[in-house]
Amino acid sequence: MTYVPMTARSRDEGHRTATSLELFFDLCFVVAIAQAGARLVHALAEGHPGSGVVGYFFVFFGVWWAWMNFTWFASAYDCDDVPYRVATLVQIAGVLVYAAGVSRAFDDNDWAVAVIGYLIMRVALTAQWLRAAAGESGAARTAALKYAAGLVICQAGWVGLLFAPDASKRWLFLVLVVAELMVPVLAERGHQTPWHAHHIVERYGLFTIIVLGETIAASTVAVKSALDEHEALGELLPIAAGGLLIVFAAWWIYFAVPMHERLNTNREAIPWGYGHLLIFASGAAIGAGIEVAVEHAVGKAHISQVAANAAVTVPSALFLLMVWLLHSRHFKRGAAQQLVLPVSALALLACTWAGSYAVLYAGLVATAAVVVGMTLSVRGGQFERAGAEV
């Protein structure tokens, strides 16, 4: 379609699924995620976990927030005509520019390139909201205009950040993060945009798969590089096996519950959507941690065994805990089922002190969480299909 009026889609639309354009959009974000993960690996391997985690959070926020804003807008207003596709292309270009600036932002606190990329994405989204406002009336039009105004104000803040003293940039960054998070909350007061619950849950699930896939890819490259330069197969096989088990269990646990049944209003959806910052970031960080563990195994990382282990176990535990908090606990019955993931997260953390086999043990713990969760579901009469509640 060359051009169609941009009007709200129905929340009850049947068979709503992710479009090929949305899938392509997601794949382009892998570049930025990979850049953030690479910088985290370098920081952790050099023994700078504090600055590494902070820098990783800062650059990952920009990736996640731009993706999330596009996703929720598309769920409500995707008309898939030529102007809509062109605006999406502009946002894709923006994330590629942002990815190019990740290393400077991470290493040197130089945000110029990253902010330019972010501005490109946000200008395109602002145009989309203005177009949506033109096709709406009443409360819906007001909400769309609030979104556009909020985006413009926040972008002015990001430009101002470039001229702030280096010592204050990180603190001002947090202020701008809060401002960004408040835009949807304020814009949707009095009117909830007609996002589609099943579509949103599918979009988040697909991005989770992409994040976990990036983890597998990064881990594979790390192991291959280590094998090319060293004969350390005995040290690398447990890391590779444990990492694969962790990622597979993470996938299984995330997709175990029908989350779309719970998302009805913004009261449930906004905390759920925002909480995925930690799910996505920790999922991607698992891959970075596995890379650090590989580098330590072949003598490249200048850190202790415990620190190398923690690079894997901490994000893995955080992933399980956040999935339980946002997903699983709403579908559990009884204390035993509720405790599976929190206890598993603690057991993963305990693997930090398990020596050179820590990653393998962590993988076995994650697998045990799946098995125990399935067993409890069967005994509770809730097992309806393979892969049911974990």
> Token pair of 225, please?
């590089």
- What span, in angstroms and rounded, lies between the C-alpha atoms of 36 and 103? 8
Q: Note whether 163 and 262 are same-domain residues.
A: no
366 domain residue, yes or no: yes
192 domain residue, yes or no: no
Q: Note whether 223 and 364 are same-domain residues.
A: yes
- What span, in angstroms and rounded, lies between the C-alpha atoms of 179 and 341? 33
320 domain residue, yes or no: yes
Q: Note whether 202 and 163 are same-domain residues.
A: no
89 by Cβ neighbours in 10 Å (0-12 / 13-18 / 19+) ranks as middle
Domain final residue, candidates 187, 210, 238: 187
Q: What's the pLDDT score for residue 166?
A: 81
Tell me the whole-structure pTM to 2 decimals: 0.92
Q: Position of tokens 């898939």?
A: 80
Q: Note whether 182 and 203 are same-domain residues.
A: no
- What span, in angstroms and rounded, lies between the C-alpha atoms of 123 and 121? 6
Which helix (H) or strand (E) covers residue 82, if one does? helix 82-100
What DSSP assignment string belongs to 198-216?
HHHHHHHHHHHHHHHHHHH
- What span, in angstroms and rounded, lies between the C-alpha atoms of 246 and 311? 13
Helices of type H across 135-165: 138-162
> Token pair of 118, please?
């972010």
11 domain residue, yes or no: no
Domain range enclosing 156: 20-187
Q: Note whether 105 and 229 are same-domain residues.
A: no
Domain final residue, candidates 147, 167, 187: 187
3 domain residue, yes or no: no
- What span, in angstroms and rounded, lies between the C-alpha atoms of 232 and 143? 58
**pLDDT digit of tens for each residue in the chain (390 aa)?**
688 888 889 888 888 899 999 999 999 888 899 899 999 999 999 999 999 999 999 999 999 999 999 999 999 999 999 999 999 999 999 999 999 999 998 888 889 999 999 999 999 999 999 999 998 889 999 999 999 999 999 999 999 999 988 888 888 999 999 999 999 999 999 899 999 999 999 999 999 999 998 888 877 877 777 777 666 777 888 898 899 999 999 999 999 888 888 888 888 999 999 999 999 999 999 999 999 999 898 888 889 999 999 999 999 999 999 999 998 888 888 888 899 999 999 999 999 999 989 999 999 999 999 999 888 877 665 444 444 444
Contact 104, 112 (CB under 8 A): yes
Cα 156 to Cα 122, 179, 317, 360: the distances in Å are 11, 12, 37, 47
- What span, in angstroms and rounded, lies between the C-alpha atoms of 34 and 96? 12
Contact 65, 93 (CB under 8 A): no
6 domain residue, yes or no: no
Q: What's the pLDDT score for residue 1?
A: 65
Q: Note whether 245 and 149 are same-domain residues.
A: no
Number of domains in the chain: 2
Contact 222, 294 (CB under 8 A): yes
Distance of CA 311 to the CA centre of its chain: 18
Q: Note whether 92 and 120 are same-domain residues.
A: yes
Q: What's the pLDDT score for residue 299?
A: 84
Q: Note whether 84 and 169 are same-domain residues.
A: yes
67 domain residue, yes or no: yes
Q: Note whether 246 and 179 are same-domain residues.
A: no
Q: Note whether 121 and 249 are same-domain residues.
A: no
300 domain residue, yes or no: yes
Domain final residue, candidates 166, 187, 208: 187
Q: Note whether 324 and 276 are same-domain residues.
A: yes
The conformation of residue 303, written as its DSSP 8-state character, comes to S
- What span, in angstroms and rounded, lies between the C-alpha atoms of 283 and 248? 11
> b or e along 115-154 (b: 16 or more beta carbons within 10 Å of the residue's beta carbon)?
bbbbbbbbbbbbbbbbbbbebbeeebebbbbbbbbbbeeb
The conformation of residue 164, written as its DSSP 8-state character, comes to S
Closest by CA to 72, choosing from 281, 270, 282, is: 270
Q: What's the pLDDT score for residue 258?
A: 86
